[in-house]
Chains A and B, each alone.
Chain A
C-alpha cells in the first residue's frame, strides 16, 4: 500500500498569513495527488486535482505543486473561511486509494 504522510498534523495561523502544508508519498505517485478541504458537518470539498490543477470555483489563493513523492498545498493569504482540515489523497494505485492523516488549520 502507498502511505501518505502530511505535515504538520496541526497548524495555528492568522488571517492574512501564507500557509504551506506538505504531503509525502511512500513511493512515486507521479502527479496522482489531490487536495481536499473538510469542515465539521460538511461534505469534503475538492481543491486541487492532479497535483496542481485548481478545481473550478476554488479561490486562486489555493495552489498545489509537486510530483513524484513530495507535494505541497499553499494558501497565499488566509481568510476566516479557510480554517478547516486539509487532506491529501493519492489515486496512483487504482486498487487502493489512500488519504493523508489530515492537517487541522486553526486560528491563532
Chain B
C-alpha cells in the first residue's frame, strides 16, 4: 500500500521560512512525479507545484503565486520530497497536501497525504 505522510507545518511570521517534508513509501518512488496542493481556510484546492522524476529530467513547475518563493526538491534515496517556503505571506496560510502522480503518462493525483497545516501570522 502506498503511503504519503507530510510533516513540518506550523506557525510562522510573515517574511519567515518553513520547510515541509513528504515521505512516500510502498511504490516505485523514483518514477513518480510529486505534487504539492494547498487549501486555504474556506477556499478550494490550489495546485502549488510539482517535481518530476529524475528519469523525466527532475524539473520543477510552480503556480504563479508561489513562483520565486517556494522550491521543491527530492531525495530519491529516502523517498522524501521537500517544499521549502520562503518570504511567506498571510495568503500562504493553508493545509498543504503532498500527492503522487504515478508516472509521466499517468497524470492524476493518487494517493494523497492527510495534509500539514501552515499558519502565517504575526
Question: Which positions in A face B, CB cutoff 8 Å?
Answer: 1, 32, 34, 36, 38, 42-46, 49-50, 55, 85, 87, 89, 91, 94-102
Residue pairs across A and B with Cβ atoms less than 8 A apart, 19 shown, are A42-B114, A43-B97, A44-B37, A44-B99, A45-B112, A46-B109, A49-B106, A49-B108, A50-B108, A89-B108, A91-B101, A91-B108, A94-B107, A97-B47, A97-B50, A98-B47, A99-B46, A100-B44, A101-B44
The answer to whether A95 touches B108 (Cβ under 8 A) is no
Give the B interface residue count (CB, 8 A): 23
A99-B63 in contact (CB<8A): no
Q: Is the interface of A mostly helix, strand, loop or mixed?
A: loop
Number of A-B contacts (CB under 8 A): 60
* Given A94-B61, A96-B61, also A46-B108 (CB < 8 A): yes
Shortest CB distance A40–B (Å)? 10
Identify A32's interface contact among B47, B63, B107, CB under 8 A.
B107
